[in-house]
Chains A and B, each alone.
Chain A
Amino acid sequence: MFDDQVLHDLKNPLSGITGSIGLFLEGLLGPLDAEQKKYLTNIDFSAKRLTLLLMELSAVANAEKKQLVVTKVPFPAGELREETAWLKQLAALENKTIVDTFDDDLSLPADKKLTVMIVTDLLVNACKQTDRGGRVTFSIKPDKGGPLFEIGFSGEGIPREFTAKIFDKNFRADHPELKAKTGAGLGLYFCKLAVEAQGGKIGAEGARFHFRLPQDR
């Protein structure tokens, strides 16, 4: 999609933003009033969305060249809750709720960075699919074949004719509702590559995304 150099060049100015905004929001430059915090948080969330897009582009480029590094070091599910906490705030701005139900101590046999990106992307997607006032659920169930991640959302769900294709590269639905909600067809393609690179499988049915990450044998 883009060559490495373009991605690299985009990451430098973005680092200037994320690094500097973080100084404010992590309290390193003193206290902020509510209004300052609100607008700095807006910049921060926008930078986080941009970061996710860039990291996905990078990961897809690497995966397509068989160069994606997968480092499976088991980590507790609670860390996933922390890393995606900002999405709850973002959803609340649109009067949507994300409810996660899983055991913080559940050990996930996975690449943490990739898994955070996958879950973030699916939660963002699920939030887009649900209307204002809607609800997104996120669960992880332990299972013999490895933990099963499920992200559900209120609403009509993805039309059946598209569920097999939405993880394809550059998929754009020829469907007025879905078209606006699926974007350029990068995020879900990234999710598929990143789940498969960890030996897992991803799918969608109705108003639900799910994937499983198996233990290495």
Chain B
Amino acid sequence: MKILIADDEELVRSALEGILKKGAGYETDFALDGEEALKKMLANSYDGVLLDIEMPKLDGYTILKKVRLDKPDLPVIFVTGKGNAKKVASSIDRDGLNALIEKPFTPAEVLEVVFQAVRKKAD
């Protein structure tokens, strides 16, 4: 399994990497801004993407809309500090967002959501 972690904060990327590697044995790849995230999502085949909403160059909403044209089945999970806002929740229905992880997160929370989203794709 290979998961793309897209977040402009090194501390967040590194914590997520540790959780996915140590907790699930997954491989990880990184994107440091929105443009890089979109490029990598379109060029590679990942089993899932952890996507920060607020990133330089392109935000998570725009990336999700664009990537859905080519990859309707790619599990995309927002990792956001803007949880509980209606805008994020409505993204789930409108743009096919698969799940949401709210910052700050714990390993158990991240793994539960990622396992579910990845398993749904496999089913």
Contact = CB atoms under 8 A, between A and B. Distances in A.
A and B are partners in one complex rather than unrelated chains: yes
Given A14-B103, A23-B18, A58 B12 contact: no
Interface in A4-30: 4, 7-20, 22-23, 26, 28-29
B26 to A, nearest CB: 13
Contact of A13 (B11, B19, B54, B110): B11
Interface of A: 4, 7-20, 22-23, 26, 28-29, 47, 51, 54, 58-59, 62, 67-69, 113
Contacts of A15: 11-12, 15, 81, 103-105
Given A15-B11, A19-B110, A51 B104 contact: yes
Given A8-B82, A58-B83, A69-B86, A19 B54 contact: no
A22 B106 contact: yes
Nearest to B82: A8
A215 to B, nearest CB: 23
B108 interface: yes
Contacts of A58: 83-84
Given A15-B81, A54-B104, 20 more contacts: A8-B82, A9-B81, A11-B104, A13-B9, A16-B11, A16-B12, A18-B104, A18-B106, A19-B16, A19-B19, A19-B105, A20-B14, A20-B18, A23-B22, A26-B106, A59-B84, A62-B84, A67-B85, A69-B84, A69-B85
Interface centre among B14, B23, B106, B110 (most CB of A within 10 A): B106
Contact of B104 (A23, A47, A69): A47
B103 A11 contact: yes
Contacts, number: 86
B42 interface: no
Contacts of B105: 15, 18-19
Contacts of B15: 15-16, 18-20, 23
Interface residues of B, number: 25
A28 B107 contact: yes
B1 interface: no
Nearest to B52: A12
Contacts of A54: 104
A14 B104 contact: yes
B19 A23 contact: yes
Contacts of A4: 82, 85
